[in-house]
Structure formats: C-alpha cells, structure tokens
C-alpha cells in the first residue's frame, strides 16, 4: 500500500529573539497509508500543528523531508488533491456558497462544476439553508462546517483536518463523523488531529501520539486500546479475596493480572472450584493511553528547547 | 493566472472600505470644482489635486506593507495557500491587488481632474500623464512595501520602504541629479508636485517604464524571499 503522507526524520526549530531556539518537532517520522483514517494526537504544544503546517508547505523543515501524495512538501499542484481545514478556521467574510466557490476556483475548478459541487458540499455539512448568508455572521460551529465544505469542494484524495469538530455540538459531530466514514468508504485518506479522543477512538484506523515534538505511540487503534500486557478474567463461584485487587460485581469476580501469568490465575480459580466466565485483554480508553504517555507534562507544556 | 486574479480581486474586495474612504477625497475635489470660481482660484484647485494625488503613494505603502501581515494575523492566508496556489502566485495576486486599488483611485482622480482642471485651462492629456506617473509610482511603492513586509512587521516595512523610496531624493541633492531616478517613485511624485498652469509639463516616459521594470524586479525579490520563509500565523 502506498503512502498518502510521509514524514522522514523531520525536525523543526523556531528561532526566538535573542537567539533562543525551540525544537517543535524532533526527528519525527510517520507514514500515513492511503485509504485510512489516521488520528494524530498530542497535548497542546506537542507539535501537531507544526507537523501539519510542514505537510501543507506553510513551513519549511529545519532537517528531514516529507512527501504529500508522493510529492515533496510544498508542491503547489499536489495541494489540488488535498483538502485542508485549519484549527480555528478563518475565512473571508462572504456569503457561504460564493466563498466555497472561491476556494474551489483557487484549485482550478471550472465555474459550472463549482456551482454544483459547492451546493453538494454545503448540503453534506448541513448548511444548505445558510448558503446565501455571510459567513461573518456565522457561529463558530457553522464556520467550522463551512471550513469543512471548502476543504471538500475539490473532492480531495487526502483530507488534512486540524481539530475539525472542536466547535461542533454533538449532533453536528455525529454528522461530521459519518461524513468522514463515507469519505473513507470512497477511498479517501483522512489525517485527523483532534483532542476529542472518544471521536478518534471511534473512527480512526491508526493513531499516533506526539509529545514534546517526538512520536511516543503509534499503532492500530484496536491494538492500542487492547493491552497485550494485562488480562482481565471474570469468574464466579469464588471470593474476591482470593486475588489482590479483585473486584466483585453482580456475582462476578473481576481479576486483572499480567498477561504472562493469566494461566496460573485461571488454574487457581479452578483449584478452588470456581468457574471462569471470560478471559480478555484489558481494554483501555484512548484517553487513558493519552494520559499515560503524556504523564509528567506540565500544563501548557511545549516542545523541547534545543 | 486564474488564482492570481482571484487573489487580486479578493484583495480589492477586502480593502473596499479604505478604498471608498480614499475616493471620498476625490469627490471632495469634484465638489471643490463645483463651488470654486475657477479663473480666480484655479491654483488652489491644482494644489488640492496634487495633495489628493500624493495620498495614493502613501496609501499604496500601507496597502502593500500590511497585506501579508493582515492575512497572517487573521489566519486567512492558510486556507488560500492550502490550495493550488504557489507562494509567488500569492504575492503576484497581492501586487496586482495593490496596483488595482491604486489604479481605481488614479482613474477616478483622473476623471475628476480632467473635469475640474480641464475647465481651468490644464491640458486633459497632461492630467492623464500625471495619473500614469502616479499609478506607476504607487505600484512600485506598494511592491517595495510588500517585499519588506514578507519579513518585517508593517510598521518597520513602511519605514524601510520610505528609506528606499526617499534615498534617490537625497542622492539627487547631494551626489548627482541623475541618481534621482534610481528608484523613480520620488521623481514621478515630484513630476506631479511640480505641475502648474504656467509652465508646460515635461513629459518623459522613462521614469514610468523604469518604475514598471523595478516593480517587476521587487516582485521577484519578494517572491524569492517569501518562498524561503515560514508562514507563521497568530495562535488563538
């Protein structure tokens, strides 16, 4: 499978006055496969937006290189095949439909095609009724939806979305989630940066966690949330005191043991005449994993100083 | 070319209120033409015309010097550069946008000047030559300001532009008269300021052509710098 987005040992340093340097990304490598929804996580200041801005060509890497749909970062023609939604979306104050058409026209779309397509994308984001309203009068959530519409207008192969649902109400969030899932079914690749971990857990095939400019976790969402290190055993016919830390709920005793010793725990249950009901790897939420890998970070922490 | 024109038109659209305010000054000149007793006060009328004319050079510096800064600060630049728009195309759009804004002003001033000064005995042909001088001077001034604004904030960009544009005036007076044409905004503006009813206008297209050439040169410089810098945007 070919890659839609590749970062190869990319570092990015910001030079501050007077001569201080901050490393926002440190030897960062990542590959996003075509056709997947990829979740990009990290606390504030971890370097997520920097990585996205590098991919879009807004910034130049200090070291390393990257490719967007097979072309080096910053290649303008390739961006015609990409849809981008920035964090805290900012758009010109025009009526919604002409605005979406303006952004489509910047991507070289023809007028006839644009009119039809802009109507379609505004409908997809639930703004048909507001198509002739000036976006300057829109709420933040509506603005985010127009931003999504302008990102989709050119029918992109790759969608790069920086916090696409942060300002949306739960209903709108569900509709955006469905929109992204439909996009994946159409074979599009979605690179999604978000703080809404439950959303990411629901729709992303793979996730990466960035912390202080470094990649600290990468893997399939299902693999990450199902721990290979711990196993949960549910049993009945025994007392909870048999195992340290075991809990009793509705007549079932829940025991969490290291995976390496789960066989011994099962035999212990059997030895006292108990019945093993289920044995599963421990399922953790993405939030738990996120907190685990970013533990120790001070609030508002930023990338490392170079 | 399409994205360049879209960006240029969008720039003018975004600056429509400042442009309209500027055009009010031109309307003031027209009003002056209506109420002035022309044979007696024609020199006053010409003075106002010159004053209103020179504003466009100053405003082109502000338009050019603040264009990128405003787009960055508002973060609107991201949605534009996320499209099939190369950095040099984006800058071309801004250069053309600044020139269009100044062109609208010069054209309106030309119309008003033709009417008011024309009936005072000033050659209409000369009014349009002066407008060509102004438009070229404004385009060059705006492009120089845009170039500095790629790496300086608008305040310093305006200051640096003023230095570059006024340096030939200093050299003209201290070193050699011929150096005054080095960056011809000064010379072109001086042509407008020296115009009078009594002496014939010296029509020379050389400074205008030089200004156009230098506009292209400074645009290329801007593009060269702009493709090598990060588009840092304000963080909310």
Q: Which residues are CB-contacts of B235 (< 8 A; sequence separation ≥ 6)?
A: none
- In this prediction, residues A14-25 reach a mean pLDDT of 80
Residues of chain B in contact with residue A84, where contact means CB-CB under 8 angstroms, are 78-79, 82
- Predicted confidence at residue A251, as pLDDT, reads 83
Phi, psi of A210 (to 5 degrees): -105, 135
Whether the predicted pLDDT of B236 surpasses 70? no
Q: In what order do the strands lie in the sheet with A158-162?
A: A82-85, A158-162, A189-193, A37-41, A206-211, A214-220
User: What residue ranges define each of the domains in chain A, with the CATH number in brackets?
Assistant: 3-223 (3.40.50.300), 227-283 (3.30.1490)
Looking at chain B, the whole-number percentage of residues with pLDDT higher than 90 is 55
Residue B228: its chain A contacts at CB < 8 A? 60
Question: pLDDT tens across A44-56, in order?
Answer: 888 899 999 999 9
B225 reaches A (C-beta below 8 A): no
Q: Given a cut of 70, is residue B27 above it in pLDDT? A: yes
The predicted structure's pLDDT at residue A303 = 46
* Element (DSSP H or E) covering residue A169: none
Pairing type for strands A189-193 and A158-162 reads: parallel
Question: Are A300 and A235 within 8 A, CB to CB?
Answer: no
User: Which distant-in-sequence residues (6+ apart) come within 8 Å of A288 by Cβ?
Assistant: none
Q: What is the DSSP string of B4-40?
A: HHHHHHHHHHHTHHHHHHHHHHHHHHHHHHHHS-HHH
Query: For A22-36, A250-264, B1-15, which range has the lowest pLDDT when averaged over its residues?
Result: A250-264
User: Tokens 């709420």 label which residue?
Assistant: A139
What average pLDDT score do residues A249-260 get?
Answer: 84
Q: What is the DSSP letter of B180?
A: G
pLDDT given for residue B26 in this prediction: 85
Q: Give yes or no for A90 touching B (CB within 8 A).
A: yes
**Residue A299 pLDDT:** 45
B148 to chain A nearest CA, in Å? 19
> What integer pLDDT is reported at residue A83 of this predicted model?
94
Query: A1 pLDDT exceeds 80?
Result: no
Domain boundaries, chain B: 2-226
Please write the tens of the pLDDT for every residue from A42-92.
888 888 999 999 999 999 999 999 999 999 998 999 999 999 998 888 899
Q: What is d(CA A172, CA A177) in angstroms, rounded to the nearest whole number?
A: 9
Helix (H, G, I), strand (E, B) or coil at A209: strand
With left for phi above 0 and alpha for psi between -120 and 50, is residue B127 left, alpha or beta?
alpha
Instruction: Kindly provide the ipTM of the predicted complex, given to two decimals.
Output: 0.87
Give A77's contacts in chain B (Cβ within 8 Å).
84
Which is it for the CA torsion B87, B89, B94, B98, positive or negative?
positive
Cα gap A285→A302, rounded to integer Å: 24
Is the predicted pLDDT of residue A292 greater than 60, yes or no? yes
Beginning with the edge strand found earlier in the chain, give each strand of the sheet holding A226-236 in spatial order: A247-249, A252-258, A226-236, A275-283
Q: Which residues of A touch B229 (CB under 8 A)?
A: 60
Q: Report pLDDT for A302.
A: 44
What is the reported pLDDT for A304?
Answer: 45
Segment A138-163 shows an average pLDDT of 91
- Indicate whether A301 pLDDT > 60: no
- Alpha carbon distances (Å) from A61 to A13, A14, A41, A248, B206: 8, 10, 20, 54, 44
pLDDT given at position B146: 95
Contact flag B3-A86 (C-beta cutoff 8 Å): no
Q: Is the pLDDT of residue A34 over 80?
A: yes
How far apart CA A155 and CA A120 sit, in angstroms, is 11
Lookup: tokens for A306: 């170079």
- Burial bucket for residue A3 (CB in 10 Å: 0-12, 13-18, 19+): middle
Give the pLDDT band (50/70/90) at residue A296: low
Closest residue of B to A12, CA-based? B230
User: Sheet of A20-33: strands edge to edge?
Assistant: A20-33, A3-16, A63-68, A71-72
Question: Which of A75, A90, A101, A149 to mutate: most B Cβ within 10 Å?
Answer: A90
Beta bridge pairs of residue A33: A3
Q: Return the pLDDT at A196.
A: 82
A62-84 b/e with 16+ CB inside 10 Å = b?
Answer: bebebbbbeeebbbbebbbbbbb
Q: Which of A90, A92, A106 comes nearest B83 by C-beta?
A: A106
Q: Determine contact, residues A9/A293, Cβ cutoff 8 Å.
A: no
Q: Taking a C-beta distance cutoff of 8 angstroms, is the pair A32, A4 a contact?
A: yes
B41 in A contact zone (CB under 8 Å): no
Residue A70, φ and ψ in degrees, nearest 5: 85, -10
- DSSP SS3 for A217: strand
Q: What is the pLDDT of residue B226?
A: 93
Across the interface, which of B2, B3, B74 has its CB nearest the CB of A90?
Answer: B74
Q: Return the DSSP state at B151.
A: T
pLDDT tens per residue across span B84-137: 999 999 999 999 999 999 999 999 999 988 888 887 778 888 889 999 999 999
- Contact of A230 with A281, CB cutoff 8 Å: yes
Token pair in block for residue A279: 């044995």
- The CA distance from A203 to B34, in Å, is 70
């Amino acid at each position: 499978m070919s890659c839609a987005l590749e970062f190869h040992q990319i570092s990015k340093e910001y030079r501050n006055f007077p001569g201080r340097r901050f490393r926002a990304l440190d030897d960062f490598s990542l590959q996003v496969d075509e056709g997947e929804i990829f979740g990009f996580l990290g606390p504030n200041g971890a370097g997520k937006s920097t990585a996205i801005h590098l991919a879009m060509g807004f910034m130049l890497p200090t070291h390393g290189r990257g490719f967007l749909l097979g072309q080096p970062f910053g290649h303008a023609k390739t961006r015609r095949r990409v849809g981008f939604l920035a964090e805290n979306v900012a758009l010109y104050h025009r009526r919604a439909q002409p605005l979406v058409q303006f952004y489509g026209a910047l991507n070289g779309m023809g007028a006839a095609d644009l009119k039809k397509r802009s109507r379609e994308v505004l409908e997809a984001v639930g703004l048909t009724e507001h198509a002739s309203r000036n976006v300057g009068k829109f709420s933040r959530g509506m603005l985010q939806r127009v931003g999504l519409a302008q990102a989709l207008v050119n029918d992109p192969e790759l969608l790069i979305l920086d916090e696409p649902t942060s300002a949306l109400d739960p209903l709108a969030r569900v509709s955006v989630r469905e929109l992204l899932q439909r996009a994946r079914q159409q074979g599009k690749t979605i690179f999604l940066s978000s703080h809404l971990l439950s959303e990411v857990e629901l729709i992303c095939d793979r996730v990466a966690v960035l912390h202080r400019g470094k990649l600290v976790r990468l893997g399939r969402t299902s693999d990450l949330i199902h721990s290979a290190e711990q196993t949960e055993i549910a049993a009945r016919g025994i007392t909870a005191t048999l195992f340290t830390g075991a809990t009793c709920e509705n007549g079932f005793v829940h025991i969490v043991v290291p995976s390496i010793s789960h066989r011994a725990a099962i035999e212990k249950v059997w030895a006292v005449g108990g019945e093993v009901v289920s044995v599963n790897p421990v399922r953790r939420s993405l939030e738990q994993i996120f907190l685990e890998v970013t533990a120790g970070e001070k609030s508002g922490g930023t990338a490392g100083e170079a | 070319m399409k994205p360049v024109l879209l960006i240029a038109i969008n720039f003018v659209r975004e600056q429509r209120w400042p442009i309209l305010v500027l055009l009010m000054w031109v309307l003031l000149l027209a009003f002056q033409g209506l109420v002035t007793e022309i044979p007696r006060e024609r020199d006053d009328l010409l003075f106002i015309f010159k004053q209103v004319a020179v504003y466009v050079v100053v405003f082109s510096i502000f338009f050019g010097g603040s264009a990128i800064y405003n787009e960055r600060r508002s973060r609107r630049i991201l949605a534009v550069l996320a499209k099939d728009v190369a950095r040099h195309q984006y800058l071309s759009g801004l250069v053309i946008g600044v020139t269009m804004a100044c062109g609208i002003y010069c054209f309106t001033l030309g119309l008003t000047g033709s009417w008011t000064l024309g009936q005072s005995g000033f050659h209409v042909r000369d009014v349009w030559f002066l407008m060509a001088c102004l438009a070229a001077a404004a385009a060059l001034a705006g492009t120089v300001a845009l170039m500095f604004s790629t790496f300086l904030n608008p305040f310093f960009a305006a200051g640096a532009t003023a230095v570059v544009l006024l340096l030939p005036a200093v050299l003209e007076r201290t070193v050699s008269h011929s150096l005054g044409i080095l960056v011809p905004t000064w010379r072109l503006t001086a042509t407008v300021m020296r115009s009078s009813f009594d002496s014939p206008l010296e029509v020379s297209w050389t400074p205008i052509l030089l200004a156009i050439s230098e506009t292209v040169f400074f645009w290329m410089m801007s593009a060269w710098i702009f493709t090598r810098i990060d588009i840092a945007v304000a963080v909310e």
